[in-house]
Amino acid sequence: MPRKQSDALPRDKLLTLYQRLTLAGGKHFQADIARDLGCSPQTVSRLIAVIERHLGKDAEIESGLEERRRFYRLRSKAQAHALGFSFEEVHFLAVCRDLAAPHLPQGVAERIDRTLTSLALQLAESQGHRAARDPVLGIRPKGFIDYAPHLPTIARLRMAIERRQVCRVIYKATGRGQAQPYRYAPGRILAMSGTLYAEGYRLEEGSLLKDRPTTFSLHRIIDVTPTGEYFSFDAGDEDARSFGLVWHQPKRIRIRIASEAADYVRDRIWSDDQLIEDHPDGSITLSVTTTSERELNTWVRGFGDLAMIVDPL
């Protein structure tokens, strides 16, 4: 006849507690342990002390109070120093992965999954395995761009950005029949509405000084070739975030928003220097700086008759 849990020998309780600490990450509350082992909280404290004495220098048992409840948690000193991650940070990385996954090539997403799984396992986080494998957040895009064929372009742009290399970019703009060459200083790669963009400056032939801000849709870049020249300015030096991508010089625009959409607009940041004026009828006037007037017009039209551009300032 099997022994009841409350009748378990001290060594059985010790092994059960050790397994619980090492295989299940997170906080283990003293009252829960005492209940499951069928012993007193004082016995749990003594068992914890025994385990801690035998862990050695590479691990320790953290003890603390949460809402007046004593908890214990196993922490690995060696892994903390080697990895630089905590359990919570792995979960945050998994959330970022979930948000980005719909826009990543399948091979890249799979490599990220494997890396997160490895981190979670090394941190002895049992729930981290689920966080790395099963997305807790998701996006259902209406349409997406397959960036797998453009990975070489992304790699060359990243290297050029890091080294401040001047590039020759062959680009086919929307509605254009033929691609055009540009002398280009790339500053950064941005993601917006499921699309990747390269932001930087166009350069005059023979010049290493920035001429005009230029944004390219990454999937429309036919080729990127470093010229062997280097620029010294910051090609991603936009100090204030404006509405939209950088297509032209900043413009100040005022938009009247009806009361039905006022809370939605008020809850979000549309440009770093935005101003919101409240009106007695519940409507608002939003003043923003935009570097993409066409994009702003499209956004306003999306509200139907609930929004209209008052005037440029």
Confidence of residue 201 (pLDDT cuts 50, 70, 90): very high
Q: At what angle do helices 87-100 and 106-122 cross, to 10 degrees?
A: 170
Side-chain half-sphere exposure of 100, counting CA atoms within 13 A: 18
What was the pLDDT predicted at 142? 62
Which is more confident, 178 or 240?
178
Burial annotation 237-270 (CB, 10 A radius, 16+ → b, else e): ebeeebbbbbeeebbebbbbbbeebbeebeeeeb
Taking a C-beta distance cutoff of 8 angstroms, is the pair 131, 116 a contact?
A: yes
Q: pLDDT digit string (tens) for 24-77?
A: 667 889 999 988 888 899 999 988 888 887 776 656 788 888 888 999 888 765
Taking a C-beta distance cutoff of 8 angstroms, is the pair 250, 289 a contact?
A: yes
Q: Is the pLDDT of residue 86 over 90?
A: no
What was the pLDDT predicted at 310? 87
Average pLDDT over residues 17-28: 77
DSSP percent split of the chain into helix, strand, coil, nearest 5: 40, 30, 30
What was the pLDDT predicted at 125? 42
Closest CA to 214 of 252, 245, 243, 174: 245
- Number of CB atoms found within 10 A of residue 2's CB: 5
What was the pLDDT predicted at 220? 94
Q: How far apart are CA 194 and CA 143, in angstroms?
A: 9
What was the pLDDT predicted at 95? 62
pTM: 0.52
In a 10 Å sphere around its CB, with 0-12 CB exposed, 13-18 middle and 19+ buried, how is residue 213 labelled? buried
Which is more confident, 206 or 246?
206
Token representation of residue 177: 């029949």
